[in-house]
Amino acid sequence: MSNIFDSIPEDISDELFSDLVCGEYIRIERIVSKGHDSPQVGWYDQEEHEWVILLKGEAKITFETDNDVHLTPGSYLNIPAHKKHRVAWTVADTETIWLAIHYRDAINNT
């Protein structure tokens, strides 16, 4: 048995990405941020859909064509494949812990 809040280092100078489960059509990962954001150049443009829930901390996600979304603990959203987005900010004084589920449609593999 594991705990999603375990094994978080004191110094998080780089965002921490940990795959928890991987399969043909799904990947579940824990992301730990602490004041991190996406590079200012470019957007995430993923091949997979991404369902994400914020378990601890706060964050803001910016979309290329939609409004920003402010996430607090318990907030979740689904980001369709190829919906361009970036993390605008995460709080700097505590860890922001995300659970991200990346998945593909089994029928058309998108």
10-36 pLDDT per residue, tens: 888 889 999 999 999 999 999 999 998
- What is residue 9's predicted lDDT score, i.e. its pLDDT? 87
**For the chain, which residues make up each domain, given as ranges?**
16-103
- C-alpha 36/C-alpha 78 separation (Å) is 21
- C-alpha 30/C-alpha 37 separation (Å) is 16
Side by side, the strands of the sheet bearing 85-90 are 69-71, 59-63, 85-90
- What is residue 41's predicted lDDT score, i.e. its pLDDT? 75
- What is residue 13's predicted lDDT score, i.e. its pLDDT? 87
The predicted-structure confidence for 68-106, as pLDDT tens digits, reads as follows: 999 999 999 999 999 999 999 999 999 999 999 999 987
Report the 10 Å Cβ neighbour count for 79.
Answer: 20
- C-alpha 47/C-alpha 89 separation (Å) is 23
- What is residue 26's predicted lDDT score, i.e. its pLDDT? 95
Superfamily of domain 16-103: Jelly Rolls (2.60.120.10)
Report the 10 Å Cβ neighbour count for 2.
Answer: 8
